[in-house]
Amino acid sequence: MTGRPSEYKVVLVVRGELRLTAGKAAVQVAHGAVMLYQLAERRHGAALEAWLRGGQKKIAVVAPTLADLEELQRQARARGIPTVFVEDAGLTEVPPGTRTVLGLGPAPEAEVDRVSGSLPLL
Amino acid sequence: MTGRPSEYKVVLVVRGELRLTAGKAAVQVAHGAVMLYQLAERRHGAALEAWLRGGQKKIAVVAPTLADLEELQRQARARGIPTVFVEDAGLTEVPPGTRTVLGLGPAPEAEVDRVSGSLPLL
């Protein structure tokens, strides 16, 4: 391949207002990555293959509020990017069912970046 | 089920001496979780099913050095617990091929805890 016209990426967007500890955030991000993997296996096989071939590139970023995550999900869906919401079991730090992370992808990097490219890294 | 005789867990052990940022650690932990998922799909189907039924419980902990991670891996293997090592692509923070995270499981919680139960949470 010349250049990387179809590099695929997963983005995990952490809900900043929850102020999760590093360990809690890591676990929620991991949960989102596994959920996206499961979803892609069922419905986005070609994207999953492309993502795995590229070394399963992923990044973790932050958006302030749940409303921000919901808006990002709307934008991603409008572009056909797979999305998942991680809901915490609520054993620690936050109440049960709290939405902690929005997962996006795997999808072409240029597409995902149009949705989440301006967010700061976790 | 009465009680939780067969609750399954995944543990991600972060290599503390690397002093990764929260975001970098989260991504490495997520990478380990996906690698364990892939390994379990190929070779530990019953454990994977048990783990998913239980809500894919996972925690992130810290061990100081690579030698500690390697010793934990030996102990886990001796108990038949699946293990993976995450090697960073090295684009940021650490050199390419650096081992960043040891993943353990999914395996019965009591078994995994005998290996990693004394490690502090990330």
CATH number of the domain within which A100 lies: 3.40.1490.10
- Domain assignment present for A1: no
Residue of chain A minimizing CA distance to B33: A30
Q: Which chain B residues have a beta carbon less than 8 Å from that of A60?
A: 23, 26-27, 30
Residue of B10, B29, B86, B119 best to disrupt the A interface, most CBs of A under 10 A: B29
Contact (CB<8Å) B33/A32: no
Confidence of residue A51 (pLDDT cuts 50, 70, 90): very high
Query: How far apart (Å, rounded) are the C-alpha atoms in residues A18 and A93?
Result: 9
Q: Work out whether strand B8-15 and strand A83-87 pair parallel, antiparallel, or are unpaired.
A: unpaired
Confidence of residue A91 (pLDDT cuts 50, 70, 90): low
- Domain assignment present for A104: yes
Q: Which chain B residues have a beta carbon less than 8 Å from that of A30?
A: 12, 26, 29-30, 32-34, 58, 60
Contact (CB<8Å) B33/A30: yes
Contact (CB<8Å) A61/B122: no
- Residue A94 is predicted with a pLDDT of 81
Beta bridge partners, B5, equal none
- Domain assignment present for B23: yes
A23, A29, A121: residue with CB nearest B30: A29
- Overall number of domains in chain A: 1
- Residue B2 is predicted with a pLDDT of 41
Contact (CB<8Å) A33/B33: yes
- Answer for the pair B99, B13: CB distance below 8 angstroms, yes or no: no
Q: Which chain A residues have a beta carbon less than 8 Å from that of B33?
A: 30-31, 33-34
pTM comes to: 0.94
Q: Which tens digit of pLDDT belongs to each residue from B44-94?
A: 999 999 999 999 999 999 999 999 999 999 999 999 999 999 998 776 778
Q: Which tens digit of pLDDT belongs to each residue from A11-38?
A: 999 999 999 999 999 999 999 999 999 9
- Answer for the pair A30, A63: CB distance below 8 angstroms, yes or no: no
What is the span of the domain harbouring residue B96? Answer: 8-116
Q: Which chain A residues have a beta carbon less than 8 Å from that of B25?
A: 22, 26
Q: What is the mean pLDDT of residues A70-78?
A: 98
Mean pLDDT, chain B, rounded, equals 93
Q: Which is higher by pLDDT, A1 or B29?
A: B29
- Domain assignment present for B103: yes
Contact (CB<8Å) B27/A59: yes
- Domain assignment present for B121: no
- Domain assignment present for A36: yes
Q: Is ipTM strictly over 0.90?
A: yes
Contact (CB<8Å) A60/B26: yes
- Domain assignment present for A108: yes
